[in-house]
Structure 1
Amino acid sequence: MNQQFAVIGLGRFGGSICTSLNEQGMEVLAIDVDEERVSKYANDATHAVICDATDEKALKSIGIRNFDHVIVAIGDNIQSSILATLMLVELGVKHITVKAQNDYHEKVLNRIGAHQVVHPERDMGVRIAHNVVSKNVLDYLELSDEYSIVELRAGNIVDGKSLETLDVRAEYGCNIMAIKRDEDVNVSPQAEERLQKGDVIIVIGSDKDINRLESALFDDTNDDD
């Protein structure tokens, strides 16, 4: 059975979530106080309603407590975001994810009971910064303050070498989760797998260890492309 989602706030962030969930076949209720926004995303959700998410009676009337996951994507009004989250917590919603504008906003959201707080603009900024600093890093996902998952492009240094020879886990404390080669993805590759120039290597580890790995094996800045 598909999970039931409700998205409160249909700006660019909330609207994109509705569209993505809908494309994945999920049941989605799109909510906003703005009639124009509700109309805009009516076709990207199972249902779309005009509702003030800071009004407890209004939330009860649309059965918000019956949804598996409610995402508060209100982006331009911190007070409304906090009040809506508080209402959802008091109504006993199972899982609440909220978009935070800043660190102070996040602290308040955590204090009142949000289950997950996200910083889409900040997180995207971090990813872009990693991508522009190093041409070897194709994508970056921060798991915590110290651990991340990165995509590294294989160059001349590792071309033709097996994972057993490189021994990334023992030498650098990182784990290779998968290797992407053209359209093929090899999840949990075996030790005898040999890398080829152009492969995309998906690595998990501490930021310190990943940096050591990148410098030692994926820094081809002095090599011919």
Structure 2
Amino acid sequence: MASRNREDAVLVIGLGRFGGTLAQTLQELGHRVVAVDRNHDLVQQWSGQITHVIEADATSEVVMRQLGAHEFRRAVVAIGTEIEASVLATGVLLDLAVPEVWSKAITREHGRILERIGANHVVYPERDAGERVAHLMTGRLIDFLEFDDNYAIAKLRAPREICGRALEKTALRSRFGITIVGVKHPGGQFTHAEAGTVLGPGDLIMIAGGTDRVEEFATAVGTANPP
């Protein structure tokens, strides 16, 4: 069904909101996607949007081997509410020696089980979305992305206090522990920030640093007035 040499082939198990959207987006990005779910209605729902959709029990090693799951290099177990099925499906993929297995977890306990049996990546979509929205609700951050090792990147409007001066003169790294890595002037596109970059009112900036430092910076500084 797929070739292990095909780097763009992805097997997605579970066609709930997360799995279905993931499979559809991967396909739109040019990847070959094969989606599997044992729910007949979900298979019918997604069959017109995803090229290869199969109704099958992903917790059965025999079934998954027949479908050629062992030929995929990457697979995602997107089963949400059924923890037992999620763990079993992940275990099947690992037993079939799929090199890269991503699994969705709905609780920390669920995630720990997935990690212990060998899932390469465990993701928490609901938790991550909730945390991101909480950061955005401060009213200062336009976008926010946090990584596992307490590091974050955020987008916000340039604070008034650092406008009109070259970035090297603002001492943001020593004062706040953050770095401006990108700048977007009104009507333009994001470009790399340099030491001599001068910000103006209405500019958007992309900052990077420790999560706490990014939050402190966004809270401490007043934002420039919109253009």
For 2:193, what is the secondary structure of its paired residue? coil
Whether contact under 8 Å (1:174, 1:204) holds in the other structure is: yes
Partner of 2:171: 167
Are residue 154 (structure 1) and residue 158 (structure 2) matched?
Answer: yes
Are residue 189 (structure 1) and residue 193 (structure 2) matched?
Answer: yes
CA distance in 2: counterparts of 1:26 and 1:43, whole angstroms? 17
Gaps of 5+ in 1: none
> TM-score with structure 1 length normalisation?
0.90
Are residue 114 (structure 1) and residue 110 (structure 2) matched?
Answer: no
Code of the aligned partner of 1:63: G
- Residue from 193, 200, 205 that aligns with 1:201: 205
Deviation of the 1:189 alpha carbon: 1.7
Please tell me the root mean square deviation across aligned C-alpha atoms, in Å. Answer: 1.9
**How is 1:14-53 mapped onto 2 (pairs within 5 angstroms)?**
14-53=19-58
Whether contact under 8 Å (1:85, 1:96) holds in the other structure is: yes
Deviation of the 1:83 alpha carbon: 0.4
Which stretch shifts more, 121-130 or 175-184? 175-184
Which stretch shifts more, 152-161 or 107-116? 152-161
CA distance in 2: counterparts of 1:85 and 1:183, whole angstroms? 45
Whether contact under 8 Å (1:10, 1:30) holds in the other structure is: yes
Are residue 219 (structure 1) and residue 222 (structure 2) matched?
Answer: yes
CA distance in 2: counterparts of 1:185 and 1:14, whole angstroms? 31
Whether contact under 8 Å (1:18, 1:44) holds in the other structure is: no
Deviation of the 1:2 alpha carbon: 5.1
Deviation of the 1:5 alpha carbon: 0.5
Whether contact under 8 Å (1:164, 1:191) holds in the other structure is: yes
CA distance in 1: counterparts of 2:145 and 2:45, whole angstroms? 31
Deviation of the 1:98 alpha carbon: 0.7
Q: Which stretches of structure 1, 4 residues or more, deviate above 6 A after TM superposition?
A: none
**How is 1:30-179 mapped onto 2 (pairs within 5 angstroms)?**
30-132=35-137, 134-144=138-148, 146-179=150-183
Code of the aligned partner of 1:195: L
For 1:7, what is the secondary structure of its paired residue? strand
> TM-score with structure 2 length normalisation?
0.89
Partner of 2:3: none
For 1:190, what is the secondary structure of its paired residue? coil
CA distance in 1: counterparts of 2:116 and 2:7, whole angstroms? 30
CA distance in 2: counterparts of 1:179 and 1:2, whole angstroms? 34
Q: Give the count of matched residue pairs.
A: 220
CA distance in 2: counterparts of 1:166 and 1:89, whole angstroms? 51
Gaps of 5+ in 2: 1-5
CA distance in 1: counterparts of 2:212 and 2:155, whole angstroms? 15
For 1:30, what is the secondary structure of its paired residue? strand
Deviation of the 1:145 alpha carbon: 5.3
CA distance in 1: counterparts of 2:200 and 2:73, whole angstroms? 44
Deviation of the 1:151 alpha carbon: 1.4
For 2:20, what is the secondary structure of its paired residue? helix
Deviation of the 1:191 alpha carbon: 1.1
